[in-house]
Chains A and B, each alone.
Chain A
Amino acid sequence: MQIIVLGNGVAGTTAAREARQRAPHARVTLVSEESPYFFSRTALMYAFMDRLTRRDLEPFERHVYERERIARVHERAVDLDANAQTLTLAGGATLRWDRLILATGAVPRGLDVPGLREARSGVVHFVSLADLDACEALTPSTREAVVVGGGLIGIELVECLAHHGVRTTFLLRDDHYWPTALPTREATLVGQRLEHHGVTLLGGDTLAAVETDGEGRVAAVITARGRRLPAQMLGVCVGVRPQVDFLREARTPPEIRGGILVDEQLRTSLPQVWACGDCAAIQLPDAPAPLVETMWYSAKRQGTLAGANATGASLPYQRPLFVNSAMLVDLSYTAVGRSTAEGTTLRTLVRQHRRRPATQRIFCEGEQAVGFLMLGSSWDTERLSRWVAEARSVDWVRAHLASAQYDVELGPLDLRDAEEAWEDWPPVAVGAAHIGRGT
């Protein structure tokens, strides 16, 4: 049996390894244009900051592929024929498959503003190895930069540019950073950390036009409010969308709705074809609309499931309790359960520390704690998740909060040093998720 996995990101690679484990005699092949070896996309920023080399980004030693008998093809796929069960590569070669797993990932969303398309250099995204190359090549000749888009990828790029001494303006459509995930109080703290590192935040403004110099390099950006910001580099980080373009043109296109439409077992509309990761739109039985999760953690989970189901299992995708974490400049961010702006307004108990940039926010429904949003210190996500699952009361949670601290030994945040307040969040419905959640 030949299993082909298209895409060697975290979803694809996890799927291939899972398939290999479950089907020891199958032939497993990973096809990818971007990179011959799986690398950690979430670590691109550390390569940009010179803390890791390209090779360090690879989570496995290279001999693992040989040991696990996973073949690699470093080429772009251009066509899919589900009737003949073939995948056509850019070089013209055709690969036959018995089972196909699509894990094509996502590509950056573009912006359509005057002058942007004319810019031949200076415009960057920050999601692929090619983007990293472009950023590194441009940085030495960049004094000022503008980054558009207030999500995780945006702040990563801003942080890297600031690290290299580039005067960076972070252009935010809303008043604060990352309004879909952070209430004003938390967003303000993140903004202060950014400003501390020399970044200029420009809230409530958007990109209106791009000016280029004689060579076609970005020279300045014009904002909707008429500001002209000199910049030799423009980072466009306004989210990602599933990479499905070549599938639309394929001989047998799978059904696409946002992403590649899959059922709860991650089966696409085509026989013997599964999809997982950022490219998949999962239609769960009780959900009104398909679900696209563009997160590392989800991709890993979906990859495991697709690998299992493509080798004979029929396991349903169980969306676990939402958990996300990140480092926002130097503030740890942890979100558990219902804690984003995408749901209904909830009553929240927020604790803000007096001497350190740290907050804890407990989301309540009635007396019950349904979610957490922690900033500036480290938390045991397993324990917080358990509390949500056990439907603990907010009073109980507040009394036991210290037992979920995950700070370093000798250095736990002093939880007594905080002021408490009740706030509703989101105060009014924040518009649909116009900013991609990214990594």
Chain B
Amino acid sequence: MIRPTWSGRLAHDLQNRGLSAWLLCGALWTFYVVLYFGVPYTHPQGGLESFQAWLYQNATLHLDAWGARLSFGRDEGHIYRGDRWTLYALLYTLAMAIGGAWMFHRYAHNRYQVVRTACVLSVQVSFAFAVPILLKFFGHPEYYFSYLWPLKIEYLDPRNFAYFGEALVLYAFAASLIVTPLLGVFYGKRWYCSWVCGCGGLANTFGEPWRHLSQKSARAWAVEKVSVYAVLVVALASTTLWFTASWFPQDSTLAAWADTTRTYYGLIVVAALSGAIGTALYPIGGTRVWCRYFCPMAAMLGLIQRAGRFRIRVKRDMCISCGLCTKYCEMGIDVRAYAQRNEDFVRAACVGCGLCEEVCPRDVLRLENGRITWKRT
């Protein structure tokens, strides 16, 4: 390793789990804890609640105050009140925009990367930022059209149907249960994970400097296969439970279970896994920790992808085993293993970001939507 300049050394340190990477990880983690866990309890009952109240008083409160500066509107009837979530959405979108600009610069020669980045950025700016704010401003429920069940699990929770209204519920059903599998069969999971989703969007823009840190070992794959499908099962079971509870409204036991699962799913899967672990771990564990190990949407799309048309084609006898594809796979797929065996492949994990194809110095790999076959690789 040679880095003759101080900026080069810092970049290396930041991208290779050095001190600066750990500091950034700590800062991000602290931010997420403040964002998600501060609660303004008036009479905290000790323990966790006291901590949450303390956190709110000393930190979360200030995030809300900064977020409130993002309010706008003329009078009481037409006013948008910002809070810490507005601030978070703004920071998130800015981070993606900066990372996206870098992507455009870095991969200007690769039209797949340019179009993909443009798409994921526009979705973020519109459906994940501007539209929810405008909806709220005009007195409608805040709705993120780019987030679908089971990633946004509450969109198919019958308890919320009355709040969202018929049109949005219909949209949620159609988008999650018809459009998603259909596009998945034709284009693989990439249409969502790399072209639409904000989680993937942040990873593929702001997170680019750390994509190579994903674990490549066979052991990591073994863990992933268990954890990601476990979350999917939990998501499916929770949704089933919520529907059952709504069909038997008089059953108080079911209602209590439903509420408990809502609380814990929100706390563990949404706040801890997708936020604090998924994003804060970028500088240490690579970009797609949430997508790879925990996201139920990715798990579901992965299964569809295995049966669909998407595949990575491998040019026969052209791989030089350099390992750039494996190194820069954010999902930790050992792409080189397939390439040096001359095997076209479809992996459930692959989000179709196209970076393996981009970094290959011999143009061996190509993302394709082939014909439907049922052959397993």
A and B associate in one complex: yes
User: For the complex, is A216 an interface residue (Cβ under 8 Å from B)?
Assistant: no
* Complex: A416 Cα to B323 Cα, angstroms: 35
Residues of chain A within 8 A (CB-CB) of B357 are 408
Which residue of A48, A59, A334, A439 has the most chain B CB atoms within 10 A of its CB atom? A59
Among A248-256, A273-281, A319-327, the stretch that binds chain B is A319-327
B113 / chain A contacts, CB cutoff of 8 Å:
408
Q: How far is the CB of B14 from chain A (nearest CB, A)?
A: 13
Q: Does A118 contact B (CB under 8 A)?
A: no
Complex contact B362–A327 (CB within 8 A): yes
The distance from the CB of B261 to the nearest CB of chain A, in whole angstroms, is: 39
Q: Are A43 and B323 in contact (CB under 8 A)?
A: yes
Q: Tell me whether A50 and B12 are in contact (CB under 8 A).
A: yes
B368 interface contact, C-beta 8 A:
yes
Count of residues in A whose CB is under 8 Å from the partner chain:
41
Residues on the A chain within 8 Å of B322, using CB:
40, 42-43, 46, 52, 57
Q: Please indicate the chain A residues that have their CB under 8 angstroms from the CB of B321 in the complex.
A: 10, 40, 42-43, 59
Which residues of chain B (341-365) have a CB below 8 Å from chain A?
A: 354, 357-358, 361-363
List residues of chain A with CB within 8 A of the CB of B110: 408, 411
Residue picked from A43, A323, A330, A334, most chain B C-beta under 10 Å: A43
Residues of A within 8 A of B361 (CB): 46, 326-327
Query: Interface majority SS on B: helix, strand, loop or mixed?
Result: loop
Pairwise interchain contact B323-A382, C-beta atoms closer than 8 A: no
A48-67 interface bits toward B, Cβ cutoff 8 Å, 1 = contact, 0 = none:
10111000111101000000
CB <8 Å contact, A140 and B315: no
**A295 — nearest CB in chain B belongs to which residue?**
B320
A50 touches B1 (CB 8 A): yes
Q: Which residues of A contact B327 (CB under 8 A)?
A: 51-52, 56
Which residue of B is nearest A48, CB measured?
B2
A112–chain B nearest beta-carbon distance, Å: 30
Mark contacts of A295-334 with chain B using CB atoms, 8 A cut-off: 1 yes-contact digit, 0 otherwise: 0110011000000000000000000000101110010101
Contact in complex: A52, B315 (CB < 8 Å): no
Inter-chain contact A165/B318, CB cutoff 8 Å? no
Given A40-B321, A296-B320, A297-B318: A326 in contact with B362 (beta carbons within 8 A): yes
Q: Is the CB of B218 within 8 A of A411?
A: no
Is residue B4 contacting chain A, with contact meaning CB distance below 8 A?
yes
List 26 contacting pairs A-B, 8 Å CB cutoff, sorted by A. Answer: A40-B320, A40-B321, A42-B320, A42-B322, A43-B320, A46-B322, A46-B361, A48-B2, A50-B1, A51-B324, A56-B326, A57-B323, A59-B321, A61-B218, A139-B2, A164-B4, A327-B362, A381-B318, A382-B316, A406-B363, A408-B357, A408-B367, A409-B366, A409-B367, A411-B110, A411-B111
Apart from A296-B320, A325-B363, A334-B363, 10 more pairs, CB < 8 Å:
A43-B321, A46-B361, A50-B12, A52-B327, A140-B4, A164-B4, A165-B4, A381-B315, A408-B113, A410-B115
Interface residues, chain A, CB within 8 Å of chain B? Answer: 10, 40, 42-43, 46, 48, 50-52, 56-59, 61, 136, 139-140, 164-165, 296-297, 300-301, 323, 325-327, 330, 332, 334, 378-382, 406, 408-411, 439
Minimum-distance CB pairs A-B, first 10: A411-B111, A43-B322, A59-B321, A378-B363, A42-B320, A408-B112, A327-B361, A40-B321, A140-B4, A410-B111
